Amino acid sequence: MMAWQRVRYWLMKPFVFFSLLMILKMYLAGYVIFEGWRLWPPLATGLPSVWVVFCLIELLAPRRKLGLYLTANGVLTSVYFAVIMYYKYFGVIVTYHALQQVNQVTEVKGSVFSLLHPYFLLIYTDFVALLILLCASKRFRAWGRGLKNRERRSVLAVIGLLSLAACIFTVWPYRHSMNEVVQAEKMGIINYEVYAAFAPSKDKDVDVSGLTQARIDELKGYAPPSGTPLYWGKAGGKNVLVVQIEALQNFLIGKSVDGQVIMPNLNALVGDSLYFDRFYQQVGQGNTADAEFVVNTSYFVPSHGAASQEYAGKELPSMPRLFGTNGYDTATFHTNDAVFWNRTELYPALGWQNYYDKKLFGDEDTVMFGASDEVLYAKSTAKLAEMAAGGKPFLAQLISMSGHHPYKIPSRKYKMELPDRFKGTLVGDYIRAQNYADFALGQLIADLKARGLWDDTAIVLYGDHQGLPIYSLTSGEKKLMKELLGRDYELTDMLNIPLLIKLPAGAAEHRTIDTVGGQSDIFPTIANLAGLPMSDHLHFGQDLLNSTGNLLPERYYLPTGSYVDDSGIFISGTGFEDGRTLGFGGAGETPGGDSRANYDNAMKLLSMSDGYIRSLPDRK
């Protein structure tokens, strides 16, 4: 009995009681993010940071202990919860930088809730229960009032200092690690969040005053053609229509489910187009809006935040500006309110002459965040016909949205019957949403033909970003992906999006091109087809129709220092030496990278892009 009383005495002390609660949360977060059960690392890296906070409460506010412990519990719990939820979609450790996107959450609440496994909410169980007790139980409130006695300050000071020292010694050895997930695992999640708030950028400042295209090409290993480039002017004087498909991944092309073709219209378009099957996303925190930025500028996304927010104050050299100054009418179309992701500022920064959003498309036939892809294409083609009737060619971009995560399209939009094993799964919902997006694409093609625009238009179609986060899939969903692919679904599949270029009549050609490419390469490739020189526009992509190799620096969805080159996707560790390379098409993983030069050059290219954009004049 005496032993139990001693245990109860210590458990009733808030320092011990709340420490035990936080330990459970450390284990839950570690299990989800670092994919496995570990007994000691979560305690060794997580407990000291918690004890620093608790010691400060005891030393600085002993008479308001309970309220501050509850507050600390709520804040630390929310950090763990945010890290878990963010990781399940992006595969990265969220930091305070993501607070800039809080105002976007209401728009994507469906995506947020879809990632929310019920057991994640267990992390808040104690917090809710304690709040209820605080409101409903006199005995609990009396216990709280009884906590005002001071603990021994000397003991608390020693514990606090030792805990702070433990935090420092945990953080210090990994401060130079390039891989943020490894950093968070080795430092502890709370330690990493504090470190990230004060850590210097991993990107080095570079002097861009003398930056030249030749220097960029040299770092990328790209040798521009000495004579007239292949395909030069093949679409000269013709319309250019850029179609960005929401969450379209490359593995869907040519695939069927129990005899039902998933993307029949896209498959047919592949047969009429130049098809790049080793093409990769280069977006960051802004996802779809980032894709619009990268494609239209051939620059890279910022290390933190969305490009539409970080760079919208600049006068951005861009594809719309280049085409506009060469006699084209330019316009971009998006069914949501352009306020979303700050497009009201991004579009003028990119130099679009006109943009059309919800004001044109309304709430008609809503799917996800706005009017359906069918409405997008029908109303857009009517506008495109008006533009073409003006006598000038047009450059236009259509932003599809109906295939947005979590892919819960209305039943009236179902165009295929899912087998039972796919129903109720993220994979099944994704396939059905993309099948509908393909149906709408077929209507766009038919409408362009009916309006006489098809033959005089080069169509460039690509996916904006991944659709099935590998971190979100259950074991059952991974089995479904293995059934579709004939092998395990890997990171190289997740980041692989398609690029198709359908040339105007008279120049049409269809073949598959296996040159590695990324979204930053689209602008230079289109400029070549249109016969518009980019001599006055620094760009970090390259013309894929005149390339044999490539180097694509990656940000956000992969750790800092990662890149794509001709051998696969390199993922950094603490640096280059302990990184790993994932081969294309299920080729497997090899330790290390194929080229230290590519690793160094990828980092230089990112820094150059950042520096160059910062050097651009502010938009009036």
403 pLDDT more than 90: yes
27 pLDDT more than 70: yes
SS3 letters across 129-188: HHHHHHHHCHHHHHHHHHHHCCCCHHHHHHHHHHHHHHHHHHHHHHCCCCCHHHHHHHHC
pLDDT value at position 119?
55
Query: By C-alpha distance, which of 34, 282, 35, 178 is closest to 579?
Result: 178
Q: What pLDDT digit, counting tens, does each position of 349-402 carry?
A: 999 999 999 999 999 899 988 999 999 999 999 999 999 999 999 999 999 999
More confident residue, 483 or 95: 483
Return d(Cα 207, Cα 243) in angstroms, integer.
36
Return d(Cα 95, Cα 86) in angstroms, integer.
10
Query: Which residue is it, tokens 């999006």?
Result: 497
What value does the mean pLDDT take over residues 22-36? 84
What value does the mean pLDDT take over residues 125-133? 83
Return d(Cα 271, Cα 572) in angstroms, integer.
37
pLDDT range class, residue 588, cuts 50, 70, 90: confident
CA 596 to mean position of chain CA atoms: 26
* Long-range contacts, stretch 378-382, CB < 8 angstroms, 24+ apart: 378/443, 378/447, 379/333, 380/333, 380/356, 381/444, 381/447, 381/448, 381/451, 381/453
108 pLDDT more than 60: no
pLDDT range class, residue 109, cuts 50, 70, 90: very low
pLDDT value at position 232?
97
**Cβ-contact 58, 156 below 8 angstroms:** yes
Q: Which domains does the chain have, with CATH numbers?
A: 2-198 (no CATH), 213-222+249-615 (3.40.720.10)
Query: By C-alpha distance, which of 13, 20, 54 is closest to 149?
Result: 13
pLDDT value at position 3?
65
pLDDT range class, residue 594, cuts 50, 70, 90: confident
What value does the mean pLDDT take over residues 521-529? 98
CA 265 to mean position of chain CA atoms: 27
50 pLDDT more than 70: yes
Which structure tokens are listed for 364? 């008609």
pLDDT range class, residue 121, cuts 50, 70, 90: low
Choose the most confident range, by mean pLDDT, from 359-363, 525-529, 560-564.
525-529
pLDDT value at position 511?
95
Least confident of 82-91, 172-181, 472-481, 560-569: 82-91
pLDDT value at position 369?
83
More confident residue, 116 or 8: 8
Query: By C-alpha distance, which of 500, 508, 546, 542 is closest to 523?
Result: 542
Which structure tokens are listed for 61? 């506010």
Q: What pLDDT digit, counting tens, does each position of 327-355 carry?
A: 999 999 999 998 888 899 999 999 999 99
pLDDT range class, residue 42, cuts 50, 70, 90: confident
Query: By C-alpha distance, which of 285, 289, 404, 405 is closest to 340?
Result: 289
Q: What pLDDT digit, counting tens, does each position of 231-241 carry?
A: 999 999 999 99
**Cβ-contact 219, 551 below 8 angstroms:** yes
585 pLDDT more than 80: yes
Choose the most confident range, by mean pLDDT, from 11-25, 87-101, 567-581.
567-581
307 pLDDT more than 80: yes
What is the average pLDDT value for the chain, to the nearest integer?
90
Which structure tokens are listed for 285? 């925190």
Q: What pLDDT digit, counting tens, does each position of 277-289 carry?
A: 999 999 998 899 9
Q: What pLDDT digit, counting tens, does each position of 257-280 carry?
A: 999 999 999 999 999 999 999 999
Number of neighbours of residue 481 by Cβ within 10 angstroms: 20
530 pLDDT more than 80: yes
Query: By C-alpha distance, which of 20, 123, 127 is closest to 72?
Result: 127
92 pLDDT more than 90: no
**Cβ-contact 524, 460 below 8 angstroms:** no
> Whole-model pTM above 0.75?
yes
pLDDT value at position 106?
47
Side chain identity, residue 17 = F
446 pLDDT more than 90: yes
Q: What pLDDT digit, counting tens, does each position of 140-166 carry?
A: 777 777 676 667 888 889 999 999 999
pLDDT value at position 255?
97
In the chain, the percentage of residues whose pLDDT exceeds 70 is 93
More confident residue, 419 or 176: 419
* Long-range contacts, stretch 220-224, CB < 8 angstroms, 24+ apart: 220/540, 220/542, 220/550, 220/551, 220/601, 220/605, 221/549, 221/550, 221/551, 221/598, 221/601, 222/542, 222/547, 222/549, 222/550, 224/543, 224/546
What value does the mean pLDDT take over residues 197-224? 88
pLDDT value at position 105?
47
75 pLDDT more than 80: yes
